[in-house]
Amino acid sequence: MKSNKTDEITRVGPGTLMGEFMRQYWIPVAKSSEVVSDGDPVRLMILCEKLIAFRDTSGRVGVMDHRCPHRCASLFIGRNEENGIRCVYHGWKFDVDGKCVDMPSVPARMDFKDKVNARAYKTHEANGLIWIYMGKADTPPPLPQIEATMMEDPEIWCLQRNCNWLQALEGDIDTSHVGYLHVGSLTPDDLEEDHPMRPTVLNRSPEYVVSNAEWGTMYGAYRPNDDGQMSWRVAHFMFPFWTQTPNNRFSTRAIARAWVPMDDEHSMLFDITGGVDEGNPAYTSKLKDDTPLFEPIKYAETTTDWFGRWRAADEEHNDWGIDRESQRNGHQFTGIPNITMQDQAVTESMGGITDHEYENLAPTDQMIAFTRRRILLMAKAARDKGLTPPGVEDANIFYKARAGSFLHEPEADLKEAYEAQLEKAERWGKSA
């Protein structure tokens, strides 16, 4: 049986601690390219709510409860036409704001369309992403000023994960696993001297500095490099479900990863990156002999069901595509050739929601414990004291976060090293 604390931090439906907390933030729900003008509606499962998204004739996006407010037939099977979605049951039609604009099956003298609304959420579209606001405020807060999402042409990819949002997210803030799960079969000679993964191969047991930040939490994992400098891997958790990971070079590339809860046991990853070095991230880089470090993700065919978007071809049903011979001969430590699928396999293998009471956390898990505690404290402060969650109104705090790997003088602490690198970094979207 899962502990009460596990339930508190993992459940996301309406009325739950984390569900109400997350609904106060803007939430990315789809890539812009997924929703076409006058095209097929798209099913979305967000925070345990069944929604549909559609783009009307004028290009506006609507996201609303999939149930028609007349008799609850699903609007997914409706007709997207002439700036609205029309229910095929009785012909009632709704615009992107959820307003009923036509009630053709009701006699004109009895028409009451002005009094009927589908439950629609406010939307915002920018830089390839569709966002929704599911909170109770009449005026939504500002959009979070997350650097990668502010770029005009970021690289965005998605992947659904069959486990709880926190379970999925915690892989991004646990850097000690990298030396084994991702590069356990490599030696330093396999990588160029400036490769961001090389210090991890040199020393697979980093030490940590972990601290609170305005935007959430941050860590710096450090280890001496063989050139006398200190190697740092700096990363962040940002409220309510964002991470910035350290597998890119700090100064030239921005990253943001949203682990959006679909329901309690399914999550959707939105990976957003950009910068001056498009070959920067570890998952697109190469070994010294010019062979790829990791292979691309293989996707399953998209279907129209609630969990049909951005599914991996390899899942638990086929043991995540493990090649046991590759695992045995040292080609891949896991036998799984894609870096994200390596994370996918271990986090999904824990089950839909792992029981935190069963864990035995180590000193290298301090970012995990620190972040869980901070999330619970802030969510309870919002519920019990009415405090506005961090980053809801003060959306600019997210811009202060930048993640990545770098080398620095060995005497500097995390704060000194981070601020020095931030001054050197190329920034996008606004001035810091």
**pLDDT recorded at residue 90:** 98
- Amino acid at the residue 355: D
Please, are residues 221 and 231 in contact by the beta-carbon 8 Å criterion? Answer: no
Radius of gyration of the chain (CA): 23
Helices (H), 171-215: 198-202
Output the six-digit token pair for 309.
Answer: 């978007």
Output the six-digit token pair for 176.
Answer: 């000690």
**pLDDT recorded at residue 423:** 94
Name beta bridge partners: 208.
Answer: 221
Q: What is the CATH number of domain 147-424?
A: 3.90.380
Q: Which fold has domain 26-133?
A: Rieske Iron-sulfur Protein (2.102.10)
**CATH 2.102.10.10 boundaries in the chain:** 26-133
Query: Distance between CA 349 and CA 176 in Å, rounded?
Result: 19
**pTM of the predicted model as reported, rounded to 2 decimal places:** 0.95
**pLDDT recorded at residue 2:** 59
Nearest Cα neighbor of 78 from 124, 263, 95 is 95
Please, are residues 247 and 282 in contact by the beta-carbon 8 Å criterion? Answer: yes
* Local confidence pLDDT in tens for the 432 residues of the chain: 556 889 999 999 999 999 999 999 999 999 999 999 999 999 999 999 999 999 999 999 999 999 999 999 999 999 999 999 999 999 999 999 999 999 999 999 999 999 999 999 999 999 999 999 999 999 999 999 999 999 988 999 999 999 999 999 999 999 899 999 998 989 999 988 888 889 999 999 999 999 999 999 999 999 999 999 999 999 999 999 999 999 888 998 899 999 999 999 999 999 999 887 655 666 677 888 888 888 999 999 999 999 999 999 999 999 999 999 999 998 899 999 999 999 999 999 999 999 999 999 999 999 999 999 999 999 999 999 999 999 999 999 999 999 999 999 999 999 999 999 999 998 887 644
**pLDDT recorded at residue 432:** 43
Q: Which three-class secondary structure state does DSSP give residue 135?
A: coil
**pLDDT recorded at residue 53:** 98
Place of tokens 């790829």: 292
Place of tokens 């704060």: 415
Query: Beta-carbon neighbour count of residue 203 at 10 Å?
Result: 16
Q: Which three-class secondary structure state does DSSP give residue 409?
A: coil
**pLDDT recorded at residue 283:** 65
Nearest Cα neighbor of 26 from 149, 177, 135, 113 is 135
**CATH 3.90.380 boundaries in the chain:** 147-424
Output the six-digit token pair for 412.
Answer: 């500097």
Nearest Cα neighbor of 250 from 240, 239, 236 is 236
